[in-house]
Amino acid sequence: MQPASNSVPTLITVTVISYLLTAGADESAISFLALWPLQGNFMPWQLVTYAFLHANLMHLAFNMYGLWLFGGAMENLLGQRTFLKLYFASVLSAALMQLLVTSASGSDTPTVGASGGVFGLLLAYGMCFPRHKLMLLFPPIPMSARVFVTLYAAIELTLGVTGSQAGVAHFAHIGGMIGGYLVIRQWLRRGRWS
């Protein structure tokens, strides 16, 4: 096992500071950094910057909790460089999936939040620690990481296809999981962990 490094606390700190700076900012500043659909105000840097913005304090809190919970374990296992590759590949693949969905649907709504990166970490955690027990908050039922990740992915896919829970980028979450899967598969193929 590789020693822990500081990427997770740094990512959390930068994201919280970004939230505080944009909470009272002019809407044009936020629009400049949010992920806009291709038919909107899309700019290439938004593929990353959107992950440092959040709609509200609850959105920020849930994402930072997930980053702390799953990110620490993944960084300890993978090391700083591969962990950052995992996180940002998930952020990027979530953004690309969201762009595909908004292009197909004709949506003109921008996307913000680190959820894609967090979902990539969640999927990676389930792949690397499939038997570890996780406890749900509601209802408080323990289940293996593999079952938890599979159930969560199925829920996200269902909500995305049915259009339920408007305002949540469910397909971006799935996109983040795809990015996480690809990085962990590459890492495993190189025989980094058995």
Angle (CA) 138 116 137, round 5°: 10
**Is residue 91 included in any domain, yes or no?**
yes
- If one counts the domains in the chain, the total is 1
CATH code for the domain in which residue 159 is found: 1.20.1540.10
Choose the weakest-confidence range: 11-15, 44-48, 81-85, 149-153.
149-153
User: Roughly what angle, to the nearest 10 degrees, separates helices 80-105 and 7-23?
Assistant: 40
Whether 194 is covered by a domain: the verdict is no
Confidence grade of residue 87 (pLDDT, cut at 50, 70, 90): very high
Distance CA 18, CA 60 (A): 10
